[in-house]
Amino acid sequence: MNKYKTILRCLVLSFLLASCAENKKQLEKKPNIIFIYVDDLGYGDVSCYGATSVNTPNVDALAAGGLQFTDGHCSASTCTPSRFALLTGSYAFRNNAAILPGDAPLIIDTQQETIASMLKKAGYATGVIGKWHLGLGDGKPDWNADIKPGPLEIGFDYSFLIPATPDRVPTVFVENHRVANLDKADPIQVSYEKRIGTDPIGLENEEMLKMKADSQHSGTIVNGISRIGFMSGGHSAYWKDEDFPIVLTNKAKTFIEVNNDKPFFLYFSLPDIHVPRVPNQQFMGKTSMGPRGDDIVQMDWMTGEILKKLKEMGIEDNTLIIFSSDNGPVLDDGYADYSAIKIGSHKPGGIYKGGKYSAYEGGTRVPTIAYWPGKIKPGKTDAMISQVDFFSTLAKLTDQKITDKKTAPDSFELLDLLLGNSNKGREEMIEEAFTMSIRSGNWKYIAPQTKPTPGWLVNKDVATGLQTTAQLYNLKEDPKEENNLTLKFPEKVKELALRLEQIMKEPTNKSER
């Protein structure tokens, strides 16, 4: 009996030693980095930023245990430009990046450094799972062959993508270079110009729809939802929108598991709470706000699953999570999902004016949280930060030098701020919408619009973002941007208009990197 006891003791001891060694190895490793990037989530859409009509316990846990920014911004009030800036550290206007159709070529030059290629050099395994919307291929992609260049050509080792947006064709996942689950006998074709194939379209077959849609979203019907654009073939590869949370979360968990021998970088890009909003059965009816509210709960669940996975694997303490959104909120974005009717007292943009597409603060001021137990001191900060800054900040964290001017030209290194060791953020920052704005401390100048408003936006509730005259606000006294001070402070207007012009001509990042 004693012999068995001794063997058992030895086994337990060696197991403990092995797991200690494993933990030590983890702590010596550079930290894993997970960027949870939510789509169209507004400043006021989660409970830690004031929402009361929806509960987001998992996002709240990140905020409670991490650093919560109250002046954190995506670089633009729409998706493609914000994502371009996040990944490249360059403002998107330098590349004329705008909302892309689903068959657009990759807009990031394969020679350009990205967060992924930079972290790869630092020894990271890199992956992107979820919404892409930065284009694929170098012309119109052939969806039946290798689709490249794409994420794998700009620094990611693995990709599993919703190629554009959930409301745009093709409605299939692209895994690395290939459409997942494609049947060769049923090739895919995509067109944004004209109807192709014989599949039903929203304009003609309204009776097949789960939700009515505007004319822009009345192309090919997939899963009872009409989309922007037309496609034929590829039926075996169609996604089911309701399965997004399950499929994407599982892919993310697998990526974490498989790559745990190296430090890893996961860009986890959630399709929620973008249209079409069709939550999984388990989240339906969880709020009184309809699908938009339920999608917030779903997004929170996905966030929680990632946290749970890290805890299970014992790597939570060696993982930095950054949580944010690609632009402000929108209620009606093309589908009759009754978001505006069911909103009740919920304020998707918090106290801020405007939302998605808008030049006002609600367009780019978004939930922004950095979480790294034991490393980031929990708290709140009102320091200004833009997502364009994560490139230089993560380069510093991982000991990567940025040596040339072309790399991350607009990105400020704010590592001390991110870790909670300093409260010093940016002094000035550009916010992109259909017109340009500049923040200088608490001053905000919105330049008059130079390009016409896109036709599909003119009559929407979000049209508050479309500007014809110059505006100046003092956000400290007037965070809701109600009192245009241009007449009162003409010198300030001149100064900021000039400054905006200068930065647009030449990046001004002189910070040590």
Q: Which residues bind ligand NG6 (CB under 6 A)?
A: 39-40, 78-79, 99, 133, 165, 167, 214, 216, 228, 274-275, 327, 333-334, 456
- DSSP secondary structure string for all residues of 349-377: TTT-S--TT-SSHHHHB--EEEE-TTTSP
Task: Write the CA distances from 72 to 144, 418, 447, integer angstroms.
Answer: 40, 11, 21
Q: Which residue's entry shows tokens 């929620």?
A: 272
**Nearest distance from C-beta of residue 455 to ligand NG6, angstroms:** 9
d(CA 184, CA 246): 26
Among ligand NG6, Ca ion, none, the one that 333 touches (CB under a kind-dependent 5 to 8 A) is ligand NG6
**Nearest distance from C-beta of residue 36 to ligand NG6, angstroms:** 16
**Nearest distance from C-beta of residue 430 to ligand NG6, angstroms:** 18
Report which secondary-structure segment, H or E, holds 444.
strand 443-446
39 lies in the binding site for Ca ion (CB under 5 A): yes
Q: Which CB sits closer to ligand NG6, 123 or 454?
A: 454
Among Ca ion, ligand NG6, none, the one that 343 touches (CB under a kind-dependent 5 to 8 A) is none
Among Ca ion, ligand NG6, none, the one that 68 touches (CB under a kind-dependent 5 to 8 A) is none
Q: Nearest Cα to 389, choosing from 429, 359, 361?
A: 429
User: Which range in 39-47, 101-109, 186-194, 279-287 contacts Ca ion by CB under 5 A?
Assistant: 39-47
CB 214 within 8 A of CB 96: no
Q: Which CB sits closer to ligand NG6, 68 or 77?
A: 77
Residue with smallest beta-carbon separation from Ca ion:
79
Candidate list 63, 79, 307, 397; residue touching Ca ion; CB under 5 A: 79
CB 361 within 8 A of CB 353: yes
**Nearest distance from C-beta of residue 489 to Ca ion, angstroms:** 33
40 lies in the binding site for Ca ion (CB under 5 A): yes
User: Which range in 73-81, 237-245, 380-388, 474-482 contacts Ca ion by CB under 5 A?
Assistant: 73-81
Q: Which CB sits closer to Ca ion, 157 or 326?
A: 326
Cis omega (within 30 of 0) on the bond before 149?
yes
Residue with smallest beta-carbon separation from ligand NG6:
79
Among Ca ion, ligand NG6, none, the one that 216 touches (CB under a kind-dependent 5 to 8 A) is ligand NG6
Among ligand NG6, Ca ion, none, the one that 174 touches (CB under a kind-dependent 5 to 8 A) is none
Terminal CA-CA length for the chain:
64
Q: Nearest Cα to 366, choosing from 93, 164, 64, 79?
A: 79
Q: Nearest Cα to 46, choosing from 56, 36, 38, 37?
A: 56
User: Which range in 30-38, 78-86, 177-185, 438-446 contacts Ca ion by CB under 5 A?
Assistant: 78-86
Provide the edge-to-edge strand list for the sheet that holds 125-131: 178-179, 174-175, 158-162, 125-131, 264-269, 32-38, 319-325, 368-371, 67-73, 379-386
What is the binding site for Ca ion (CB under 5 A)? 39-40, 79, 326-327
